[in-house]
Amino acid sequence: MKMRIFLLICALFLLASCGAKKRVVHNKNPGAVILEAAPGKLPSVNQIRITKKLAKENPGLNKYTLSYIRKYAPIAVQEMHQYKIPASITLAQGILESGKGRSELALKSNNHFGIKCHTGWEGERVYHDDDEKGECFRKYQYPETSYNDHSLFLTERRRYAFLFKYRTKDYKKWAYGLRKAGYATDRKYPVKLLKLIEDYHLYEFDKAKKGKYKYATRVLDDEKSGKETRVLKKSKEGSYYVREGDTLYSIGRMFGVPLDELKKINGLQENTINIGQKLLLK
């Protein structure tokens, strides 16, 4: 009798534990794999010289922050030339949001700006505790894609539009403007950015002239012009506005539309397209 009761208790415990396991399993969509071309090598923006001088003058500066600057300053300058966002602001945000490139989100997902999935994100994703438990964050193959997505995040949202009226050398207005636009909930966010910019002389990178600086952001999979590290997102309206470096071939590859079909949809006889031109995708 005792044995029967013991077996019954064991069976009930097993059923209860199985039920508990089912309740904590979350079948979350991991997202589609976004095709990211390997980023090209960027020219120096004197980041080695600047950081060496800083370290010599102030030995107390954080070595991981200096290392981050040496690695990512050229990317921030590239984004500045293309999107008119101060390189100092981009770098300071990257340092702050990624924990100097050492946060779990940056190391495992190459997400240096803590950008969440938001509506319309179709790429890979990870779930991480932030303001709320288990929030969805974007995952990238390369840090460069994260930087480019940060630029797109600011340029494609109306609430940040007023920032682009500021000069790229006016990092103070940008820092406080980001807080005003609601980029961060931390009231001290602008102060933290400004401390990084001024302690590490990040404003020096805002002075980098375009000159012979070549963008690493090129046409994806184009047989002639090289690589692109832009995040690929489908337009909700089923259309796309042509950007610098785009070709019909590359746009078709981006959105999975054959070249001939893309031309037919848009009534094109030739492969010639213009920057700003609206193309229908379906």
Which amino acid makes up residue 241?
Answer: Y
pTM over 0.95: no
How far is CA 154 from each of CA 28, 36, 96, 177, rounded to the nearest angstrom? 27, 20, 17, 12
In angstroms, rounded to a whole number, what is the distance separating the alpha carbons of residues 65 and 101?
Answer: 8
Q: Give the separation between CA 128 and CA 52, rounded to whole angstroms.
A: 35
- The per-residue pLDDT for 192 is 98
pLDDT at 241: 76
Secondary structure element (H or E) that encloses residue 138, with its range: strand 135-138
How confident is the model at residue 43, as a pLDDT?
Answer: 87
Q: Token pair for residue 208? A: 């980098």
DSSP 46: S
Domains of the chain: 47-207 (1.10.530.10), 239-280 (3.10.350.10)
Would you write out the chain's pLDDT as a tens digit for each of its 282 residues? Answer: 545 555 555 554 444 444 333 222 233 555 555 667 677 788 899 999 999 999 999 999 999 999 999 999 999 999 999 899 999 999 999 999 999 999 999 999 999 999 998 877 778 889 877 667 778 999 998 899 999 999 989 998 999 999 999 999 999 999 999 999 999 989 999 999 999 999 999 999 999 988 655 443 333 333 333 344 444 444 445 777 777 667 777 777 677 788 888 888 888 888 888 877 888 887
Chain-centroid distance, C-alpha 158:
18
How far CA 261 is from CA of 162, 236, 244, 269, in Å, comes to 39, 19, 22, 11
Q: Please, are residues 125 and 139 in contact by the beta-carbon 8 Å criterion? A: yes
pLDDT of residue 235: 46
Whole-number pLDDT of residue 5 = 53
Residue that has been written with the tokens 């980098």 in this structure: 208
pLDDT of residue 267: 85
User: Tokens for 175?
Assistant: 């820092």
